[in-house]
Amino acid sequence: MKNNNIKNKISNIDKSKEFILEFFKDSNITDEKGILTISQVPIEFVNFIGKKPPYKLVFDINLHNKVKDSELIMQGSYFLLAIRDYLNDKGETSLLKINFKPDLKKLSKNPLLKKYKILETKETNDFLYEFSFLSTFQYLNDKKQSITKFLIKDKEILDIDLNKFNIEKGNNKDIYNNQVLDSEKSYETAKKILDEKVNKEIKTIKLILKEKLEKELFRVKDHYFKQIKEKDEEVETCKNKIKMLQNKLRHTTYDRDISILERTIRESKERLEMLQKKGYRERLNIEEKFHINDEIEKHVLSIKNVLINITVFYYPFYELKVSNKGKNSIIRYNPVLDRIF
Amino acid sequence: MNNKKGKISDNKEKISFEGNLKIIETFGEKDYNIIDKIKNKYFETRELFDLKLKSEEVSKQSEIKELISYPLIKKNLEFNLPHQQEGALKILRDLDGRALLADEVGLGKTITAGMVLKECIVRGFVKKALILTPPSLVNQWKEELRTKFDLNFKEIINESEWENTELAIASIDRVRNFNTKTNEFKHKKAQEIYWDIIIIDEAHKLKDKNTFRWRFVDRLQKKRLLLLTATPFQNDLIELYNLLSLLRRGHLGTISEFRSNFLKNGNERQPLNPQELKRKLSEVMIRRRRDEAKGIRYMKRVPVIISVELSWNELQAYREVVDMLFANYLDFNGMPINTVLAIHSILPKITSSSRSSMEFLENVIKNTKYHTSTIENAKKIFNRFKNIIEDSKIEKLIELITEINKRDKGTKILIYTKHPATLRYISDILKVQKFKITEFSGGQTPSEKTKRIHEFKEKTQIMISTETGSEGLNLQFCSNIINYDLPWNPMAVEQRIGRLDRIGQKKDIFVYNLATKGTMEEHVVDLIINKMCCIGLIMGELPIILFNMGLDSSVNSGTNKFEEKIMNAFLDSKNNLTRFADEIDKVSNEINRGIKEYEQTKKYTSELLDK
């Protein structure tokens, strides 16, 4: 167990270091005695973080304590959070090209096109949208995050592996002027699917939270149940005492005892009146509601889904003039999905 | 960029319930901006997105195992005291942010609470935070949060200020005001806000659930609550019960259950079942003793009163000015000027030095707001004494510095005075005597202040300072303080000594005080120094005692209740020193009772929580 923890720690350090090196790849970096010194940092980043370079980055708390003005880099550390925030509104959109040319000569052998004779072929572009969401689940003093990606075409979630294609950096010029990139409907689809997926993901969290909350609510409810019961009992005792004293009074003849009993009855009645007048039930019910609400709010599960990127994939799309049994028609062929329309 | 406002509203938060569990789901408010970017064919590189994904991965925060905010504040903290970090972690991890922090005085509960707060903010758990403190500690808290945690809290004075204040701090005495006519708290707006965290300092003042203070706090809606006090109960264990009721209702059962389970008949302070009570407390409380904490040494304060014998002329000048204040201090219309205010602002000045007395008289002579008879009287006194050349106090000061140098050559000395004019005067005289001096007063820029502190540490032997601007300074490299004049507010004196009496101080601290014989100053100095500030209390205990006695809150004149007591004593004595001494004795007895009560409370607390 201990070894696993150490391994995790080391792999986290490696990941963080690798990330830092990539982020500052255009800056000047020296790596000496476990200290990464970074200079020549873009001014935009310097202004954002509010600290002038060189940055001395260390990956070990003991070293951090020794090196003056160093920044400790560890999973979730402030410097990494600052870089994340810096990148927050960056990399939100990308354009990629699925670069492949299907062998049109072989197209006629495609089972979907078998019954057609291809007369003419016209190539154009079509698009797929990839939506990436960052979901954050926060509850009590815990926070979990996950990233989900959806590939969507015309409101349909696609289950295809784009890695089998040759993906290249896209060029804006490849998109025709009359082509509209409307990703809004696909976004609405993605939201719905994400909702379902997230709900599956938080099942365990919900169970833990519910259990914790119920325990706290039981404490509050039990407390007020007992409090009300105690007050009720107090009222009942008071009433019984009055009855008992009144009974006693009826059978007493000595003046001195009568006056004592009358005084005690009067005091008990006053006490009873005070208990009932204060409306303890209503007051305690209001208090209970307040504390129940406090616990519910304390155990709130907050889910925040934020779209962090839309990537547009474009690829060749064919309009085919075909003839079938002497009849000419136009059909569309999507080679990435391998579908005709 | 087209910003589809209508669409943004589509992404409003969705609230649902599963049983009692509340779930709030939201989608990004700016999602449609990205859709617009695509529509406008605005693209960035995929590498940037890949880098962004990696940044999310490496900055992902796991469960709370360490304080990720610590490296941020470490540079601002003078010492790394492990118990503070451990306490903050325990509060967050094991106690879900609802805890009674009952560390002994001197262990830095403020720092531990600040660490909890900062961690929550960095992790994104807390946006709205409220701190409630005794009146006298509001500024100290604000300053510590600003300098050590880079957090700027806004002090709430008026109820309208609650709106739009994310980080709020307020005096608990101010906000608990209840309007009996409307049957509402004056600051009820604070109760309408849902706070992510509330911190209450000196929480033992919430021991009585029948007070407005307790009821105000109980009605605050909060996710996390930190109660700070070294003495969670004073007279009986019901107080502890009331305090815990704020944290977790019913944690110790109903009051009847608590009585039958934990209270011994006839002894309200000793529990029936101490082990069980301790176990229950450990579920919501953190308590550490000073002897358990590593890295802290407590040094002694050695009080030294230096009696200054005034010359006949000086004493006469002082007496005539005081007589004028009592008998002939009139405004333009011949009406007596508010004596309390006059005494407060003028008396300490004229006891400071005869030069200050002359400055005061000059001011009266030049000012048309005074009645002609007052101006005439001032002229007479001024003309008679303006040429006094002797200054017994400054002579005594030079003598004292020489003595200190004999004992410990070149040792650092911090001289405090209330008045900038006196500061310059002392500085001029000491420079003539070839002492190396640093002057420190309000109105200097932060960088100038740092420069002066550095100068005092490295180059000069003496720093002369006023209170203004010196709050929060760390001068533990110096162990001699000279109070040239003394504020009548013991909290201000504590603040002065507190610059030296800090973690890291390696020597006993000598607290020298110049007190002019034959004036009320000698009695005030004796009371504040010998009977309050230098009686072996730990830094931070005196404010608790004064707070417990209700002597730290402000009164209308802008002074606090303790200062008012002294002023009233002076007024009642009608400038008769013997009578004034008797009055001061009464105050002293009262303070003594407060101190004894506090010591008793500490003893009971320790018996229950530490043994």
Residues of chain B contacting residue A299, judged by C-beta atoms under 8 Å apart = 21-22
List where CATH 3.40.50.10810 sits in chain B. 70-292
DSSP string, A228-282: HHHHHHHHHHHHHHHHHHHHHHHT---HHHHHHHHHHHHHHHHHHHHHHHTTHHH
**Which site among B8, B10, B12, B34 would you substitute to test the A interface, given the most A Cβ atoms closer than 10 Å to its Cβ?**
B34
pLDDT at res. A1? 43
Provide, as residue numbers in chain A, all residues whose Cβ is less than 8 Å from the Cβ of B44: 90-94
Choice between B472 and A100, residue whose per-residue pLDDT is larger: A100
- Which residue of B17, B27, B94, B121 to mutate against A (max A Cβ within 10 Å)? B27
DSSP state at residue B528: I
Amino acid B513: pLDDT: 95
Domain ranges of chain A: 2-87, 93-187+301-340, 207-298
* B6 in reach of chain A (CB within 8 A): no
Residue B223 has its nearest CB partner, among A76, A182, A297, at A297
Residues 6+ apart with CB under 8 A from A213: A295, A296, A299, B20, B21
Whether residues B68 and A78 touch (CB distance < 8 A) is answered with yes
Q: Look up tokens 């090209």; give the residue.
A: A97
pLDDT of residue A123: 85
* pLDDT tens-digit series, residues A17-51: 889 999 999 999 999 988 999 999 999 999 998 88
- Mean pLDDT estimate for chain B: 88
For residue B13, the chain A residue with the least C-alpha distance is A304
CB contact B222 to A (< 8 Å):
yes
Instruction: Specify the higher pLDDT residue, B396 or B577.
Output: B396
Query: In terms of Cα–Cα distance, which of B605, B611, B609 is closest to B280?
Result: B609
Kindly report the pTM of this predicted structure.
0.79
User: Which pair of tokens denotes residue A128?
Assistant: 């797929």
Quickly tell me which residue has 């109105």 as its tokens.
B443
Check B69 against A78: CB less than 8 A apart. yes
Interface touch A181/B41, C-beta < 8 Å: yes
Question: A307, B31: Cβ pair inside 8 Å?
Answer: yes
pLDDT tens digits, residue range A272-328? 888 777 678 888 999 999 999 999 999 999 999 999 999 999 998 888 888 888 888
Query: Chain A contact for B283, CB < 8 A?
Result: no
Element (H, E) at A139: strand A117-139
| Residue pLDDT, tens place only, A214-233 | 999 999 999 999 999 998 99
Q: B487 near B493, Cβ under 8 Å? A: yes
Domain B70-292 has CATH 3.40.50.10810: yes
Q: Examine the pLDDT at B355 and tell me if it is beyond 80.
A: no
Which ranges of A125-202 would DSSP assign to H, the alpha helix? 184-201
- Statement: residue B3 has pLDDT above 50: no
Contacts of A302 in chain B (CB under 8 A): 23-26
Q: pLDDT tens digits, residue range B75-115?
A: 888 788 899 999 999 999 999 999 999 998 888 899 999 99
B219 contacts in chain A (CB < 8 Å): 290
For the cut 50, the answer to whether the pLDDT of residue A170 exceeds it is yes
Contact B39 A145 (CB under 8 A): no
Inter-chain CB proximity A309 and B97 less than 8 Å: no
Q: What is the mean pLDDT of residues A236-240?
A: 90
Residue B148: partners with Cβ closer than 8 Å, 6 or more residues away: B73, B76, B77, B111, B114
Average pLDDT over residues B373-400: 89
Residue B118 confidence (pLDDT): 95
How sure is the predictor about A84, in pLDDT bands with cuts at 50, 70 and 90? Answer: very high
Query: Are B55 and A19 in contact (CB < 8 Å)?
Result: yes
pLDDT tens profile A183-202: 888 999 999 999 899 988 88
What are the residues whose beta carbons fall under 8 Å from the beta carbon of B220, sequence distance 6 or more? B130, B190, B191, B195, B198
For chain B, what percent of residues have pLDDT higher than 70? 95
Q: What percent of chain B has pLDDT over 90?
A: 47
Predicted-complex ipTM score: 0.83
Check A303 against B49: CB less than 8 A apart: no
DSSP letter (8 states) at residue B370: B
Q: Find the range with the poorest average confidence among A52-66, B175-189, B322-336, B557-571.
A: B557-571
Interface touch B23/A312, C-beta < 8 Å? no
A339-340 and A327-334 beta bridge pairing: antiparallel
Q: Starting at the edge strand that comes first in sequence, how are the strands of the sheet with B167-171 ordered?
A: B154-155, B167-171, B129-133, B194-200, B221-228, B98-101, B285-286
- B15 close to A (CB below 8 A): no
Q: Pick from A87, A210, A220: which is nearest to B21 by CB?
A: A210
Architecture of domain B301-306+410-609: 3-Layer(aba) Sandwich (3.40)
Size of interface A-B (CB pairs under 8 A): 226
Question: Given the structure tokens 């007596």, which residue do they identify?
Answer: B336
Rounded to whole angstroms, the Cα distance separating B474 from B494 reads 14
Query: What is the pLDDT confidence band of residue B4, given thresholds at 50, 70 and 90?
Result: very low
CB-based contact B34 A307, cutoff 8 Å: yes
CA distance B605 to chain A (A): 26
Distance CA A144, CA A154 (A): 31
Cα distances from A184 to residues A126, A195, B27, B327, in angstroms, run: 16, 17, 14, 85
Give the dihedral of Cα atoms B382, B384, B386, B389; nearest 10 deg.
-150
What residues of A are in contact with residue B224 (Cβ under 8 Å)?
A: 298
- For residue B161, pLDDT beyond 90: yes
| Rounded CA separation A77/A71 (Å) | 9
Is the confidence at residue A3, as pLDDT, over 70? no
Residue of chain B with shortest Cα separation from A82:
B59
Please report which confidence band the pLDDT of residue B5 belongs to, taking 50, 70 and 90 as the band edges: very low
List all residues 6 or more positions away from A182 whose beta carbon is below 8 Å from its beta carbon: B39
DSSP-derived pairing of the beta strands B14-18 and B98-101: unpaired
Instruction: Say whether B125 and A172 touch across the interface (CB within 8 A).
Output: no
Reported confidence tier of residue B1, pLDDT bands at 50, 70, 90: very low
Which secondary structure element, helix H or strand E, spans residue B220, and what is its range?
A: none
- Half-sphere exposure of residue A37, counting CA atoms within 13 Å on the CB side? 8
User: Nearest CA of chain A to the CA of B44: how many Å?
Assistant: 5
How confident is the model at residue B6, as a pLDDT?
A: 39
Rounded average pLDDT over B469-482: 84
Q: How far apart are CA B86 and CA A47, in angstroms?
A: 34
Highest mean pLDDT of the ranges A253-262, B242-251, B263-272, B512-521: B242-251
For chain B, give every residue range classified as CATH 3.40.50.300: 301-306+410-609
Nearest beta carbon to residue A93 from set B38, B56, B224: B38
**Are the C-beta atoms of B544 and B532 separated by less than 8 Å?**
no
For B16, the 3-state DSSP assignment is strand
Phi, psi for A65 (deg, rounded to 5): -70, -25
